[in-house]
């Protein structure tokens, strides 16, 4: 950093980054694992499916918030916002139309309860809730159905995700999991 009350950070020139500008970069190389598809199943097989492996883990390690009879709630490892969780059937099933009546009921009940818990814990103003059915619809793990619940707050879409393509999360996933699990 430069000295002085009005001085900004020192800009370091780097070869190959284009025309120098006044933007600062927040590098998040750990996200390359997600971008490259680390640990994502290649096909429709259960072996290697993260959503099939997670229930065998203890709740803290697996980031599991709650377990039901046929579904579980788990924090997203790559959240869009703090508290972003997913409701996932234990059964390896890809399509919403293939859920049993019991799975459909418990997905709905867990979604409702998760909304109440997240509002209580973090004061969320709203939610984006949805299923991405198939790779073409944006499902990162299309072979195992999972419903996203993304908490939203007024002004949460600031310059970081819009301009910087970066999310700033104020809390570690383990701490978020503990708060939600305790309130569940």
| Residues with catalytic roles | 146
Residue 51 and residue 62 in contact, taking contact as beta carbons nearer than 8 Å:
no
For 17, residues 6+ apart whose C-beta sits below 8 A from its C-beta are: none
| DSSP 3-state of 131 | strand
The secondary structure of 36-99 as a DSSP string is TTTT--SSS-STT-HHHHGGGS-HHHHTEEEE-SSEEEEE-SS-SSTT-EEEEESS----GGG-
150/172 Cα distance (integer angstroms): 16
CA–CA dist 74, 64 (Å, integer): 4
């Amino acid at each position: 950093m430069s000295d002085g009350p009005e001085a900004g950070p020192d800009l370091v020139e780097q070869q190959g980054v284009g025309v120098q500008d006044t933007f600062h970069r927040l590098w998040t190389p750990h996200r390359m694992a997600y971008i490259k598809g680390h640990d994502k199943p290649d096909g429709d097989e259960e072996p290697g499916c993260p959503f099939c492996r997670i229930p065998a883990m203890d709740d803290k390690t697996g980031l599991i918030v709650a377990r039901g009879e046929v579904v579980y709630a788990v924090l997203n490892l790559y959240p869009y916002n703090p508290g972003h969780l997913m409701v996932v059937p234990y059964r390896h099933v890809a399509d919403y139309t293939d859920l049993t009546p019991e799975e459909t009921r418990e997905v709905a009940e867990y979604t409702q309860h998760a909304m109440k818990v997240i509002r209580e814990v973090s004061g969320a103003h709203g939610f984006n809730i949805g299923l991405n059915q198939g790779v073409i619809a944006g499902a990162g793990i299309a072979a195992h159905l999972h419903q996203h619940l993304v908490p939203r707050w007024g002004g949460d879409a600031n310059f970081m995700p819009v301009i910087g393509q970066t999310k700033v999360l104020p809390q570690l996933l383990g701490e978020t999991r503990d708060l939600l699990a305790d309130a569940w």
